Amino acid sequence: MRKLVITTTAVAAVALLALSGCSSRSGDDASGDGASKGFEKGSLIGVALPDKTSENWVLAGDLFKSAIEEAGFKADVQYAGQSTPVPDQQAQISSMTTKGAKVIIIGAKDGGQLGTQVKDAQEAGAKVIAYDRILTDTKNIDYYVAFDNFKVGQLQGQALLDGLKAKFPDKKTYNIELFSGDPGDANAPVFFKGAMDILQPKIDDGTLKVVSGQTDIKQTATKDWLAQNAQNRMDTILQGSYGSAELDGVLSPNDTLARAILTSVKSAGKPAIVVTGQDSEAASIPLIMSGEQYMTIYKDTRKLVKQAIDMATELSKGDKATTTTTTDNGAVKVPTFYLDPIVVTKDNAAEVYKDDDKLAPLTK
């Protein structure tokens, strides 16, 4: 009888240990679905950003540094260089891992070329948060925080239609051209697909005509998001397709390219057109107020950075980060927090930017 009691007790103890072990594993889920063990204030948070070609990326770096320090952590904010951006970013992420970063926030130059580095980061115990641009074809990503980029594209597509109707009320059909972003940027095809979700039906029914015939994303891409590349392509299209034809509008994925497209159109002596944009760059706001650029998208970088740091702070407490949906990156569904983008035209610019000290004065 005594032997039976001892045996039963031992079995119960083993079962308890097994349950305890299972509980511990489920609470430390590398996919981001479970809570982590947390980490102390003063721990390192790394931020790897792609470049300084956009004023929003420059602003993001400054905001990250101050926000991380205000949250009580140590910041390591790095930018990739212009000449070798992908190898630079790979090395920077590896360095952050070696330094013991507890969270690494990545605005990827090329989201498909960081698989080895994020795998190493996770194996070292760091949480990986993709910022603004999703990391593709890797399971080693915990969270993604961004504005809803498919919606951005839809808003641009609808704005192009609205702008064409407003500027050319007597026309029933319109000649347009299409531009998209850098092929290495995971956001570029998302913007384009969102826009084409709105525009393709109008191309199919003849309301819109792409005179150059260039509608595939490989034809419309703008390497490195460089203004000069967009201007060169617009020059070539105008020379080859618009000798006598009138150009009415252009889908531009961001403000930098919009300004380059407008420069090309002016240089060719063509009448004013409807051009879309994105990022609310300071140089484009006066153009919007004067009607030269029809619209932009406001994605408040301050809010995006704050959300990323809020997620890191939640993780530091051993909690799950707050999310709103998931995003399929080609390998896994990534827990995601999406913020809403805002369409800005001259009609609502003053209201949208009223709390933005940099942009509000430009609307007057």
Sequence letter at residue 25? R
pLDDT on residue 36: 62
**Region 142-147: what's the mean pLDDT?**
98
pLDDT on residue 326: 97
User: What are the b/e assignments for 96-125, b being 16+ CB within 10 Å?
Assistant: bbeeebbbbbbbbbbbbbbbebbeebbeee
Q: What are the residue ranges of CATH 3.40.50.2300 in the chain?
A: 44-141+300-339, 149-299+345-363
- Dist CA 319 CA 336 (whole Å): 15
- Dist CA 244 CA 262 (whole Å): 19
pLDDT on residue 20: 38
- Dist CA 247 CA 270 (whole Å): 8
Average model confidence (pLDDT) across the chain: 91
- Which residues fall within 8 angstroms of residue 38, CB to CB, at 6 or more apart? 315, 316, 317, 318, 319
Q: In the numeric block, which tokens belong to residue 188?
A: 């570029």
Strand-strand pairing, 342-344 and 296-298: antiparallel
- Dist CA 257 CA 220 (whole Å): 12
The CATH fold assigned to 44-141+300-339 is Rossmann fold (3.40.50)
Looking at residue 357, what DSSP letter applies? T
With the C-alpha atoms ordered 147, 150, 153, 154, is the resulting torsion angle positive or negative? negative
* Tens digit of each residue's pLDDT (9 = 90 or more) over 180-210: 999 989 899 999 999 999 999 999 999 999 9
Number of C-beta neighbours around residue 250 at 10 A: 25
Q: List, in sequence order, the alpha helices (H) in 140-269.
A: 149-167, 187-204, 217-220, 227-241, 255-267
**Region 265-270: what's the mean pLDDT?**
96
* Tens digit of each residue's pLDDT (9 = 90 or more) over 305-360: 999 999 999 999 999 999 999 999 999 999 999 999 999 999 999 999 999 999 99
**Region 134-142: what's the mean pLDDT?**
96
Number of C-beta neighbours around residue 26 at 10 A: 11
Q: Which of 9, 6, 15, 82 is nearest to 49 (CA)?
A: 82
CB–CB of 304/49 below 8 Å? no
Report whether pLDDT(174) > 90: yes
More confident residue, 5 or 63: 63
- Dist CA 210 CA 85 (whole Å): 34
* Tens digit of each residue's pLDDT (9 = 90 or more) over 238-250: 999 999 999 999 9
**Region 207-232: what's the mean pLDDT?**
97
What one-character-per-residue DSSP string does 127-168 give?
A: EEEEESSPPPS-S---EEEEE-HHHHHHHHHHHHHHHHHHH-
Domain 149-299+345-363 architecture? 3-Layer(aba) Sandwich (3.40)
* Tens digit of each residue's pLDDT (9 = 90 or more) over 275-319: 999 999 999 999 999 999 999 999 999 999 999 999 999 999 999
Sequence letter at residue 288? I
* Tens digit of each residue's pLDDT (9 = 90 or more) over 1-56: 333 343 444 434 433 333 333 333 223 334 444 456 899 999 999 999 998 877 88
